[in-house]
Amino acid sequence: MAVTQLARKGRVNKTRSRQRKQQIKLNTAQPVIKNIDIEAIKLEFAAQKASSNSTTKKKSESEIETTTI
C-alpha cells in the first residue's frame, strides 16, 4: 500500500519544531547575573528610604506649623 504525505501536516510539524527550537534558544540565551554586591544594594535602598522619610517629615511639620498659627 502506498503512503502519501500530507503537505499541511508536514508544514505544521516543521513549524512547531522550529518554534520549539527558537523558544529553547531564547530561554537558554539569557545572561547570568553575576558579581552583584547585595549589601551595597540594600544600603542604597535604605538611603533612598531615609531621604524620602525626611522629606515627608519636613512636609508634615510645615503643615502642623501652618495650622497652629
Q: Residue ranges of the domains in the chain?
A: 7-68
- Using one digit for the tens of pLDDT, what is the confidence trace for 6-17? 889 999 999 999
pLDDT in tens, 26-66: 999 878 777 888 899 999 999 999 888 776 665 556 566 65
| Per-residue pLDDT, 22 | 96
Does residue 25 carry a pLDDT above 70? yes
Distance CA 5, CA 13 (A): 12
Q: What pLDDT does residue 51 have? A: 86
Alpha helices in the chain (DSSP H): 7-28, 38-68
Q: What is the pLDDT of residue 24?
A: 94
